[in-house]
Structure formats: C-alpha cells, structure tokens
C-alpha cells in the first residue's frame, strides 16, 4: 500500500514536476481551487473551506501554495494576500488535521532564502543566520512559524522547511522574464548588476522535496540553492551567451526599477549569497550545480 502525499499549490510548476518524480512510490493528491482531476480536492482560503476527503489516510503534506511574490506591485492589499496565501492556508490545514485527529509523518513546507533579507554583501548566509528586517524576511518568518506549529501542536512527527532560491524553469518565473528581452535584443542587467542571485534548477528543487520526503532524519530549515554563486550581471550575460544573442543595452537604472515596481524593486536590486552546505552534507546531490549547464538544459530544450 502506497503512502499518500497531499500537495498544495497544484497549479505550480514545482508541484507538477514533483508529482512525476514521486508518483511511482507514493499516491499523490492535490489541494486546488478548482477540481479537474480525480486526485484533486477543492479548498477555498477566502471562505475557509476545504474538502476533508483530501486528508483520509494521508501520511505526508507538501505545502507549496503561495501567491507569486514578484507578480504585482506590493500594495497593502497585495502584501496581505502574499502573507495569507502562505500562513492562513497552513493554519486552515492544521485546524482540519486537529479536528480529524490526524497525525502526519511529515509536513514539508516551501520557504524562501528571502528570510535573510534583501541585501548585497560579501556574507554567505546559512540556515543558522538571523532573519532580515524587510517585508520578504517577515513573510518568510511568519511562513516558517506556521509550518513549525504542525510539530509544536503534535500534528506532524517532523517539519522540514525548504528555503528556496530563484527557481530556473523553462516555462515560467524569473528565467522566462529575463530571457524574453534578451531574445528581443533589449536585455540588460538590473541596477548595478552586482546583486547576488541565488538560484536553483526546477529539477533540483523538486528533487530536494523528494529527498526531504524520503529521508526521515531531515527536519528544520534547508537552503535549496545551487552551490555556484552568481550575480545579476553574470546570469544576464550567461543567458545571452546560451541564446547566442548580443548584449549592448546599458544597465536598467535602479530609480527606473523603483518607478516601475515600487517597493518590490528592492527584491530585484539587492540579493545575497546562500550556502547549500547543509542539504549537501545530509546527502543531497545537485543534478545542475553549474549555472551554464542549467541554462543550456532549460533554454535549449526546444531547439
């Protein structure tokens, strides 16, 4: 009998890639806003409703749900949505599990390297470092506290928090946004271009979740960030090189970014390096530790 894994954030790329990795060994279910397949169950965060059938006989939950950080300007309303989609969704799951008296083997939650704050320095951040003091670090801190409650309230035997770097994927996200202007001949670094960009290939990220699911000794926070460090200028040049496109536009000035994106610009103009040593010491091996190889795999797939 296969153990049952319930995944939130069904529409995201990570959930789809992860399902393919684990479906042979686990029975996979999804929580989604609109049911389309037999293994999907509906929930509505606004109305605080959830199909309790999703929880029957489950052993693990992988909580990936969360509004896109960089999709819209950070208005007060958007900030509330970003926090609620992560924290209130976890609370709704927790209360449902308590009500049904279900104890999980593991609760594995998405998190983000943004917990260290948006700042560019020579420091390389590890899981033991303190959180930053900006909006993103506050979001991630609340997110992780909501995850920790599953263990504190004796609802999960262990909690794992995957602090995710910028996810490189061919279908959506940062890479698609960065590659498009380069393909059109108008790509350029942002601000000084010296801000670090911790990154991870989509396949490696889904493998980190699989690794966390299968390794019962894992608990606590882990940086999901490739071991090779890069900055915005370098990744822009690497994308152009892989696509065989010239880069001749000047850097986009920081003040222009702030005019376009408001407070969100800080997350684009500042960035820190993060260490992957902890997850590697636990036994995880990256398929794509090298940026150039990762970009070639993603950008040249259809060529």
Q: What per-residue confidence (pLDDT) applies to 209?
A: 98
Q: What per-residue confidence (pLDDT) applies to 98?
A: 96
Residue given tokens 């992988």 in the structure block: 62
Cβ atoms of 240 and 186 within 8 Å: the answer is: no
DSSP 130-172: PP-SSHHHHHHHHHHHHHHHHHHTTSBS-EEEEEE-EEE-SSS
pLDDT at 231 over 90: yes
Cβ atoms of 25 and 19 within 8 Å: the answer is: no
Give the pairing type, strands 58-63 and 49-50: unpaired
pLDDT tens, residue by residue, 282-297:
999 999 999 999 999 9
What's the predicted TM-score (pTM) here?
0.94
Least confident range of 45-54, 142-151, 251-260: 251-260
pLDDT at 303 over 50: no
Q: How far apart are CA 151 and CA 266, in angstroms?
A: 34
CA angle 235, 241, 245 (to 5 degrees): 115
pLDDT tens, residue by residue, 243-256:
999 887 778 877 67
Q: Per-residue pLDDT averaged across 136-155, rounded? A: 96
Backbone angles phi and psi of 16, in degrees to 5:
-70, -45
Q: What per-residue confidence (pLDDT) applies to 302?
A: 56
pLDDT tens, residue by residue, 201-217:
999 999 999 999 999 99
Q: Per-residue pLDDT averaged across 131-157, rounded? A: 94
Q: What per-residue confidence (pLDDT) applies to 301?
A: 72
pLDDT tens, residue by residue, 164-193:
999 999 877 888 888 888 888 888 888 888
Question: What's the chain's average pLDDT?
Answer: 91
User: If we measure between CA atoms, which residue out of 179, 138, 145 comes closest to residue 267?
Assistant: 138
Residue given tokens 């909690």 in the structure block: 159
Q: What per-residue confidence (pLDDT) applies to 86?
A: 93
Q: What per-residue confidence (pLDDT) applies to 255?
A: 65
Q: What per-residue confidence (pLDDT) applies to 84?
A: 93
What is the torsion angle, in degrees rounded to the nearest 10, for the CA atoms of residue 117, residue 121, residue 122 and residue 128?
A: -20
User: Rounded to an integer, what is the distance from CA 34 to the centroid of its chain?
Assistant: 22
Counting Cβ atoms within 10 Å, is residue 42 exposed (0-12), middle (13-18) or buried (19+)? middle
- Which residue would you say has higher pLDDT here, 119 or 40? 40
Q: How far apart are CA 15 and CA 108, in angstroms?
A: 13
């Amino acid at each position: 009998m296969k153990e049952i894994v319930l995944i939130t954030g069904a529409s995201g790329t990570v959930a789809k890639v992860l399902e393919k990795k684990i479906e042979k060994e686990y029975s996979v279910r999804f929580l989604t806003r609109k049911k389309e397949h037999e293994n999907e169950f509906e929930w509505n965060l606004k109305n605080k409703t959830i199909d309790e059938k999703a929880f029957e006989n489950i052993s693990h939950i992988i909580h990936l749900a969360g509004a896109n950080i960089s999709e819209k300007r950070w208005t007060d309303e958007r900030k509330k949505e970003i926090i609620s989609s992560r924290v209130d969704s976890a609370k709704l799951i927790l209360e449902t599990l308590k009500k049904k008296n279900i104890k999980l083997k593991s609760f594995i939650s998405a998190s983000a390297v943004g917990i260290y704050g948006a700042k560019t320095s020579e420091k390389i951040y590890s899981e033991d470092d303190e959180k930053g003091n900006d909006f993103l670090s506050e979001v991630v801190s609340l997110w992780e506290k909501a995850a920790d409650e599953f263990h504190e309230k004796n609802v999960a035997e262990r909690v794992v928090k995957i602090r995710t770097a910028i996810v490189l994927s061919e279908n959506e996200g940062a890479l698609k946004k960065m590659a498009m202007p380069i393909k059109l001949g108008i790509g350029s670094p942002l601000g000084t271009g010296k801000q670090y960009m911790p990154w991870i290939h989509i396949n490696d990220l889904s493998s980190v979740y699989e690794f966390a699911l299968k390794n019962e000794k894992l608990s606590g926070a882990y940086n999901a960030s490739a071991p090779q460090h890069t900055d915005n200028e370098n990744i822009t040049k690497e994308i152009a090189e892989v696509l065989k496109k010239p880069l001749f536009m000047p850097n986009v000035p920081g003040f222009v970014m702030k005019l376009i994106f408001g407070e969100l610009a800080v997350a684009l103009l500042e960035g820190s390096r993060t260490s992957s040593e902890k997850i590697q010491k636990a036994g995880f091996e990256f398929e794509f530790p090298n940026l150039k190889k990762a970009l070639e795999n993603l950008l040249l797939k259809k060529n």
